[in-house]
A and B are shown apart, each in its own frame.
Chain A
Amino acid sequence: MQESAFLLGQVFNGVSVASLFVLAALGLALSFGLMRVINMAHGEMLMLGGYLAYMTLAVVPGPLGLLVALPVAFLGAALLGAVLEFTIIHRLSARPLDTLLATWGVSLILQQAARNLFGAIGVQVIAPGWLDHTVAISSGVLGGLTLPDTRIFILLVAAIVLGAIALLLNRTRLGLYVRAVNQDRPVAAAMGVNARLVDLLVFSLGTGVAGLAGVILALLGPVTPTVGQSYIVPAFLVVILGGLGSLVGTTIASLIVGLFTALIEIFVDVSLAQVLLLVFVIVFIQFRPQGVITVRTRALEG
């Protein structure tokens, strides 16, 4: 294989991993911007999405099962997210660190529930036939480059979701409310924005998107009770790098984390790559402690 093709293949891998990260981190970042809380059970929304995809494909076999699974996973995860927000997160939102611990408790319970329902080994979702190809370039400078259809599909889903959320945030009344609460909650509330409802909607939207990411994860490997855990720590780092509740920041940060991981893995093994990613994040915040996109605000304590 030619070197340029290999390098481009890694870049492509990095971008497709990044698109998973962005789907996983989007909900975290949006809710963090609004409520300053992080949902540690967010990884389990990915897991839930994966299991919902598995169950949907058992009910609706055939080529279109996957297209049914996407909305099912979105709605299922969004519903669970709404319940979680209503029962726990909203009650604790004045104490962000305690929310972290309480939602970690939720995450433990959800993992154990999955273990009891589906077994610890995990279930396999088989990609439908129309995703079973690879785009291979056999000649030219990029000879030997192969792009699996599943990875291209991931990119597409991420792009569509990002576009839809960008439209929602920038072109709708709800988006206006979200941005208003993000900038100044008391003033927005004083102007008649139902901040409570905005919190709830954004939170469940975010968990729904994580559910979508779970479907995609299921195409890449087995769905296990701890599948979310392996993606959630990089997603947290994306939130830190991205800046407060910024869509653009989150996307850029996902690309940074995805590409960094994919490219560094050319030289070192996976575990060392994880260490270097953390070192990179710590070095990065030395220069930009507020993330890639800084939301300008007059508040002293953000």
Chain B
Amino acid sequence: MKISSRQILPAMVLLFGACAPLLINAYELSLLGRFLALSILAMGIMLIWGEGGILSLGQGVFFGLGAYALALHLKLEGLNIANGDMPDFMVWSGVSALPAFWYPFASPWFSLACIVLIPGSVAAAFSWLVFRRRIGGVYFALITQALALAFSTLLISQQAYTGGFNGLTDYSTFDGYDITSNFAARVIYWITFVLVTICYFALRWLLATRWGIMLRATRDGENRVRFLGHNPLPYKVGAFTIAGVLAGIGGALFTLHAGVVSPALVGVVPSIEMVVWVALGGRNVLWGAIAGTLLVNFAKDQISSALPSLWLYGLGALFILAVSFLPAGIAGLFRPGSPEERVVRRMLTRRKLETAE
């Protein structure tokens, strides 16, 4: 089999991803792991926003649902519930008995199923209710933002049941396995890496199917799709549900890496930040979503700890510049024929001419 040059770069990226635990130190690995977890969510945003034309400013909600579904279990791990044991924060809040909705999460399998089922069903129900009345575009974005606000304030206010503003933290084991050791960190990284790869190829396949074509058709001309006798609703609700599930999986993995989930990760501001990762990376290209997530988050890690106020100015400028001048994102720079690519090529050829002279 002949290997073309177009296949070398992706193969090298995959190889680096798989070997990263052996190449970089534990701190860098933990950052890479959590940013890869976020990139699963970003691929979901690429699906709904880039391919479906649906802007959601509330992906943090589904991220949070997945994260809390796992965190609830991690908090119960090692406690003897039958004996009346409760997570530490409940004892501090003076709760007398474990709330009923916590009980099923004692089972790791129930909790794992919920990571997918809760965000998926909430996303399906919510988007069906809104899309069935043909509400989309800016209206949908604003409603999802209200959803993110309501979700995060609810989490904060129900201190006794959700850990409030501090969220849920301080985990030790999952199903009896220690999750705090260095070895566990590598295993969690590999799980994340494999899931990112699976999601990437699954979405690539999905977008190439008839379903993917219909989703793009709905984005470009919803009424035309209707006139041709198709109902756009299943495509929009389906895409939004998949994006919700991806956000939930990303949230659960992020919680494992970071060892914490809190309302500060799921509210209005983080939800809209998620969109800028994809805007910068490229909303129509899957690898763009991943690259944008890694790029923005590593930059944030570097800048925000040293100069927090500079980071916020930078983030604001990034929003403005990315959508004004780089609508196809970084990935657009590499796509033949895109306006960005043409600008770059013109710059390059001009330079060549100058050097030739």
Chain A positions within 8 Å of B, measured between CB atoms, are: 32, 36-38, 88, 91-92, 95-102, 104-109, 111-112, 115-116, 229, 233, 236-237, 239-240, 269-272, 274-275, 277-278, 281-282, 285-286, 289, 300-301
Contact = CB atoms under 8 A, between A and B. Distances in A.
B236 to A, nearest CB: 15
B199 interface: no
Q: Is the interface of B mostly helix, strand, loop or mixed?
A: helix
B320 A286 contact: no
Interface stretch (B94-102, B106-114, B146-154): B146-154
A97 B57 CA distance: 11
Given A96-B138, A100-B138, A105 B319 contact: yes
B277 to A, nearest CB: 12
Interface in B116-137: 126, 129-130, 133-135, 137
B3 interface: no
Contacts of B233: none
A112 B138 contact: no
A127 B223 CA distance: 53
A236 B133 contact: no
Contact of A109 (B49, B153, B156, B317): B317
B272 A104 contact: yes
Contacts of B153: 270-271, 274-275
A285 B133 contact: yes
Contacts of A278: 143, 146-147, 150
Interface of B: 49, 53, 55, 57, 126, 129-130, 133-135, 137-139, 141-143, 145-147, 149-150, 153-154, 156-158, 223, 268, 272, 275-276, 279, 309, 312-313, 315-320, 322-324, 327
B324 A92 contact: yes
Given A101-B276, A112-B309, A269-B157, A32 B138 contact: yes
B315 A274 contact: no
A112 B324 contact: no
A98 B327 contact: yes
A266 B157 CA distance: 17
A274 B135 CA distance: 21
A122 to B, nearest CB: 17
Given A36-B137, A233-B146, 10 more contacts: A92-B323, A96-B137, A109-B317, A112-B309, A112-B313, A233-B145, A233-B268, A237-B146, A270-B157, A271-B156
Contacts of A275: 150, 153-154
Nearest to A288: B133
Contacts of B130: 282, 285
A227 to B, nearest CB: 15
A80 to B, nearest CB: 15
B133 A289 contact: yes
